[in-house]
Chain A
Amino acid sequence: MARVRLEHVTKRYDDQGDVVTAVDDMNLDIAHGEFICFVGPSGCGKSTTMETIAGLTIPTEGEIYIGDREVTNLPPKDRGIAMVFQNIALFPHMDVYDNISFGLRLRDYPQDEIDRRVERAADIVQLEGMLNRMPEEMSGGQRQRVAIARAIVREPDVFLMDEPLANLDAKLKVHMRTELQRLHKELDTTIIYVTHDQEEAMTLSDRIAVLDSGQLQQIDPPLTCYNEPDNLFVAGFIGSPSMNFVEGTVTETTLETPNFSLEFNPSSIEGVGVGDNVTLGIRPEDIYPGDLQSEVPDPSGMITATTDILEPMGDEIFAYLLLGDGETSMSQELATNDQLLMSIDPDSDLEEDEELGVVIDRRNVHLFDSATGEAIVHDLIPYEAEGTASSSEVESDD
């Protein structure tokens, strides 16, 4: 059983007298056969965490367990793991067969066993008939499959993958993503995958571990991270395009923001009091043009906005809406109080600089504590009886 556990793992580097904490008190419990993705922005500690599991870096504090063994100070070869690197790292002077069998030859496996494993791995990653080719004669995707086959032949307890698709073009990336899912299903092995691409993480993993500044922000299934983010960082990082954030203040019956108000009952939500400063999180797909108000289960009042920019994506259009006085803010703040991003149907006849009314689905409005960034609630419960469109009485401030 290849369960992987990290207990209070911390990694500090001494950078010319300054101590840099790359991983800060990380606790993880990864089940056997689980596909888990470490995701986060550059410098968040995801690769360092993986390197501590791989044995490429020894943690400053904490313990790492693979299966029942503590492996914190063991060299990589004794951990029962194989790793696929971002730079692929094939030996250019060896053909595909020699590249795949490198690890087995290093460990003095008998020739017939090497042949059997290489053939099986080549079969899994669909490289049959290419075993005599040199790496330079192969495409990026094929080279990446050789690197994966090299990991498969080791029959490891755990696969580690450090941004293996980062150097591939968009089309090949999508194809390789499917291949990896198939591979996981076929091998039933624990896979730990590092990526900064949240789309990759969402599609591949059983659970996503979101990291920031060396700290674990949330570890949950992809849809839980998307629908119930634990804090502002996770809410802003997971989802493309990103969630809209608007600063607001709680009153007795509403949530007041600079440009609109939403009716809700603060007493029904634990942790919210009148006068509290909160940040509203609204996904672009939870904002609807006013003419669709009747189709929204629990709509807000009509909010007046002006379309600024339209971005047609083919299957949807991203509409940047200006609220209030219609001025575009160049603020670098997380919350953009005077701007909302809305995702609409591609057949919509909306045009730029058009004034329109929009409604927000209050069932999917997230509330975060402005001071701590922690999530308070992921659904604004209507103030009056459910199902009534009472909120339509609440008018936009402008």
Chain B
Amino acid sequence: MLYWSGMLVLFFFWAYGIVSFVLDLKNKIVPGIIQYRRGRRREKAKQEQEEEREEREQQLY
């Protein structure tokens, strides 16, 4: 009985941990990475636009 109770406690948290990690991966980590990369791309594009604009403005100095 003690053996089965110990196994249950041990494997419950083991399984809980795996399921929790998979859900986190799906709902937080992967979307977070996608959002970060999208943000970086957007920032880069914005920076390029600003640099281009600045370069054009300097042609008018």
A249 to B16, CA, bound (A): 80
Once the chains bind, are B57 and A85 in contact (CB under 8 Å)? yes
**How many residues of chain B are within 8 Å of chain A by beta carbon?**
7
Minimal beta-carbon separation of B6 from chain A (angstroms): 58
At the interface, yes or no: A54 with Cβ under 8 Å from chain B?
Answer: yes
Chain A residues within 8 Å of chain B by Cβ, number? 18
Residue among B53, B56, B57, B61 with the highest chain A CB neighbour number at 10 A: B61
Residues of chain A within 8 A (CB-CB) of B5 are none
CA of A56 to CA of B58 in the docked complex: distance in angstroms? 11
Instruction: Tell me the A206-259 residues at the B interface (CB within 8 Å).
Output: none
Asked whether A150 lies within 8 Å of B61 as measured between CB atoms, the reply is yes
**In the assembled complex, B2 has its CB within 8 A of some CB on chain A:** no
B53, B56, B60 pick with most chain A CB within 10 angstroms: B60
Tell which of B53, B56, B60 touches A82, judged by Cβ atoms closer than 8 Å. B60
Whether the Cβ atoms of B53 and A103 lie closer than 8 Å is: no
Tell me whether B59 is interfacial, beta carbon within 8 Å. yes
Tell me, in angstroms, the Cα distance from A102 to B58 when the chains sit together: 9
A interface secondary structure, majority: mixed
Verify B58–A54 contact, CB threshold 8 A. Answer: no
| Complex contacts, A89 vs chain B, CB 8 Å | 57, 61
**How far apart are the CA atoms of A74 and B60 in the complex, in Å?**
13
B61 / chain A contacts, CB cutoff of 8 Å: 82-83, 89, 102-103, 106, 150-151, 154
Q: Establish whether residues B56 and A83, one from each chain, have CB atoms under 8 Å apart when the complex forms.
A: no
Chain A residues within an 8 Å CB radius of B60: 54-56, 76-77, 81-83, 160
29 cross-chain CB contacts under 8 A? A54-B60, A55-B56, A55-B59, A56-B53, A56-B57, A75-B56, A75-B59, A76-B57, A76-B59, A77-B59, A77-B60, A81-B60, A82-B60, A82-B61, A83-B57, A83-B60, A83-B61, A85-B57, A89-B57, A89-B61, A102-B58, A102-B61, A103-B61, A106-B58, A106-B61, A150-B61, A151-B61, A154-B61, A160-B60
* Chain B interface (Cβ < 8 Å from any Cβ of A): 53, 56-61
- Which residues on A are within 8 Å of B, measured CB to CB? 54-56, 75-77, 81-83, 85, 89, 102-103, 106, 150-151, 154, 160
